[in-house]
Structure formats: structure tokens, C-alpha cells
Amino acid sequence: MPPTPAAILGPMGKPLIDATQLGAISLNDPSGNPHRLGDYWIEKPVIVVFLRHFG
């Protein structure tokens, strides 16, 4: 089931993020090879999850 508009919009009705800006970010895989985030959603939708480890 797709998310409801309220789930992807902030309190003022604006999008929580602009995914086009995220597309330019490059992150390294465990081997140190860079990967541009935008390359992952060229052909199909994706879900991007960031986890942060504390400790």
C-alpha cells in the first residue's frame, strides 16, 4: 500500500525532503568504492534508509 500524502508531507504540507538533492550524494560501499545515490532510482523507485550507530 503506498504511503498517504500526510505520511510524506511535513506539517505545513511541504515535502519532508527533496530527493533530487539526495541523488548527487556519493557514499562508499564496504570496499571503499563510491556509489551515487541517484543511480539507484534511475529505473525504479527505492527506499533510502540511513542508520546511525551510537557508541
For position 1, what pLDDT does the model report?
57
For position 28, what pLDDT does the model report?
94
Per-residue pLDDT, averaged over 11-38, amounts to 84
Residue 10, C-beta contacts closer than 8 angstroms, at least 6 positions apart: 16
Q: Are 49 and 37 in contact (CB under 8 A)?
A: no
Per-residue pLDDT, averaged over 33-50, amounts to 88
Domain count, the chain: 1
For position 2, what pLDDT does the model report?
58
Three-state DSSP class for 28?
strand
The pLDDT of residue 46 is above 80:
yes
* Mean pLDDT value across the chain: 80
What domain range includes position 36? 1-55
